[in-house]
Copies of this chain bind each other. A is one copy, B any other.
């Protein structure tokens, strides 16, 4: 394993420090317990707090700022943050509108945020994101994972919160966006957790993992590498099947947001090729794409691979997606 690190124990703090220094105009870093929050906290709005294991950057720290999150609690690499972080973050920001936690649906994240929520003496609610449609038998298990679609939830709820909307309204919008978003990822290589020092899993030189999780969790099936169009086809069809199962109905005038997310080591050149492939296939299915995002937004350290996310827009979601945002990783109209 070759990585730019000093001591293993210091990776997280040094990296967060660099992030806070590079974006000192937007965020500030609190230590012990660690969390990052907006430099200039807006008052009179629902406080949006997300978090999760580190190694998915820019998620979530890169989405702190105007129009998106108020704070993010980074755990160790691929390890959920602990409740004291969420408590400290929530308590450091006081508005009279309550706190909304945005949590990716993983056992660890769920339980840590849940304990924080129980301990917090401020009105609060939680949105669990679960856009990953990779896992087929998820109805028999504790449910689907939250992956790249989480960004769309954070962006839209962030925009709504900025208008002074209530906790219930923010939660409702977040749940709607989550419900209308499906994602699936493919790994070409494993990732390497710094502290482990070796790849989490092994893929042969001609194998790929379809439906991989953003921590390198095995997915739906392992298959031989194929041409991009074939791989993307399986992704697109998984998403459309999921939409059918969710009974998302497509009107004539429907619009969608297509997000091609890189896992960290896949060049932009390939991500745009995937985007092109996905648009071709989606068009064949009569899907109309009117918004797009391509890049490394929800990564899995140094994994090569990408995920496809599709969100069925409506006027409300579109409005909040388009509205101004000013964070380290996403900025427009301001």
Contact = CB atoms under 8 A, between A and B. Distances in A.
A252 interface: no
Interface string A197-238: 000000001101000000000000000010111011000000
Contact of A331 (B22, B260, B331): B331
A316 interface: no
Contacts of A273: 4-6, 11, 14-15, 18
A306 interface: yes
A262 B326 CA distance: 22
B229 A6 contact: yes
A190 to B, nearest CB: 12
Nearest to A3: B270
B22 A275 contact: yes
A5 B279 CA distance: 15
Interface in A262-310: 264-277, 279, 292-294, 296, 299, 301-302, 304, 306
Contacts of A196: none
Contact of A227 (B6, B266, B272, B292): B6
Given A2-B188, A4-B273, A302-B304, A296 B279 contact: no
Chain A contact residues: helix, strand, loop or mixed: mixed
Contacts of A272: 15-16, 18-19, 22, 57
Counted per complex, copies of this chain come to 2
A9 to B, nearest CB: 13
A132 to B, nearest CB: 19
A189 interface: yes
Interface string A8-24: 00010011111101110
B21 A276 contact: yes
Given A22-B275, A334-B333, A267 B231 contact: no
Q: Which 5 A-B pairs have the closest CB atoms?
A: A18-B276, A18-B272, A265-B265, A18-B275, A57-B268
Interface of A: 2-7, 11, 14-19, 21-23, 54-55, 57-58, 62, 77, 188-189, 205-206, 208, 225, 227-229, 231-232, 258, 260, 264-277, 279, 292-294, 296, 299, 301-302, 304, 306, 331-334
Given A14-B276, A18-B272, A18-B277, 15 more contacts: A4-B274, A5-B228, A6-B273, A11-B269, A18-B273, A18-B275, A19-B272, A21-B276, A22-B260, A54-B269, A57-B268, A57-B269, A267-B301, A268-B296, A296-B296
